[in-house]
Amino acid sequence: MRKEPRQARSRATVEAVVEAGARILSEQGWSGFTTNKVADAAGVSIGSLYQYFPDKLSLVDAIRRRHIDDSLDAVRHALAGTQSLAEFVEVLVANLIAAHSIHPGLHRVLLDEAPGLEAYRDQNSEIEAQYLALFTRAATTHGSQDKDTPASTIGLVISDAIDGVIHNAARRGRLHEPALRGELVRLICAYLADRDEAPVDKLQPSHA
């Protein structure tokens, strides 16, 4: 962003622009995304938009960052309070699906069309550290005890499994299928509860 909004009116303007930008990206894709369209949809002048976003790449970055914040909040809310493993995973999956459903087509555009994703793929970024810390906490709180595997590794597997299923479901327009949601819950519950029942050496294919 060119500058941070400090007054309530300025924050409302930025929020309107980011929301309008997300809607246009979702509905029209990267090829149909322009700052003029966003300003019109947000009900602000193009000059007001440029006060905060010097170009459409900076606006896409703000849209992407808001989506990431929504996903972080989804995990935090699932971790709040005391719950059984099944209840936690149900809430976690439901919250993350909801975060990816605000604008149904947005996530596909952010993943496959809009530039700027490289900065968010940095495994050493602050955002990645926050996300994995939350899933490590989930593994510590709800996973079976396993002295041989660090909770951080278990958390990484959970986060990648959930992200992979949800991101691809968003690409395919299948986020709201009850069967997909149910199977994802089963997958994560089984991994966290019964990890010790399937040793790695027994999972290797036989070459006999």
The conformation of residue 205, written as its DSSP 8-state character, comes to P
This prediction has a pTM of: 0.81
pLDDT digits (tens, 9 = 90+) for 55-84: 999 999 999 999 889 999 999 999 997 679
Range of the domain at 137: 63-196
pLDDT digits (tens, 9 = 90+) for 101-126: 888 788 888 888 888 776 666 666 78
- Please check whether residues 151 and 178 belong to one and the same domain: yes
Residue 21, φ and ψ in degrees, nearest 5: -65, -40
- Please check whether residues 70 and 50 belong to one and the same domain: no
Kindly tell me if the per-residue pLDDT of 207 is higher than 50: no
Are 18 and 62 contacting, i.e. CB atoms less than 8 angstroms apart? Answer: yes
Total domains present in the chain: 2
Kindly tell me if the per-residue pLDDT of 208 is higher than 60: no
pLDDT digits (tens, 9 = 90+) for 125-146: 788 889 999 999 999 988 776 6
What CATH number is attached to the domain comprising 50?
1.10.10.60
Per-residue model confidence (pLDDT) at position 119: 65
Is position 208 within any domain?
Answer: no
Give dist(CA 43, CA 23) in Å, integer: 14
Give dist(CA 172, CA 162) in Å, integer: 15
